[in-house]
Amino acid sequence: MDEIEAIKRKKLEKMLLRASQPKLEYPSSPLHVNEITLTETVQKYPLVLVDFYADWCQPCKMLAPIIDELAAELKGKVVFAKINVDQNPRAAMQYQAMSIPTLVLFKNGKPVDRMVGAMPKQMLLARLRRFLG
């Protein structure tokens, strides 16, 4: 009986700890990040798709409305972030965003997938679904 009580106690402590932690607020539109806030963002949320882009890039402009739509549709599951490579060259080098747009998917703070170039919404969604719990 002591072992069962210990297991119950541990489960209860775990439940109380989870309940006391604040709920994450998921944005319904992409976050604009920089070299400093990029790290904070990918560590804060379990699943973050970062769009490395530039204002002059035509494929980036084609992808932007797709990112906006998916940010709204997947609110609470995936956070979308955008980082301008011209203004944040160190982040682009760090994550090897040599061609743009480059999309890097982070899970629990670590890069787990990379996509280069504009793509249709359904193709991007299919890649994301593999990582949705």
By annotation, the residues acting in catalysis are 57, 60
What angle is formed at CA 74 by the lines to CA 70 and CA 77, rounded to 5 degrees?
140
Strands 47-53 and 79-84: parallel
Give bridge partners of residue 50 from the DSSP assignment: 81, 104
Beta-carbon contacts of 92 under 8 Å, excluding residues fewer than 6 positions away, are 52, 83, 85, 98
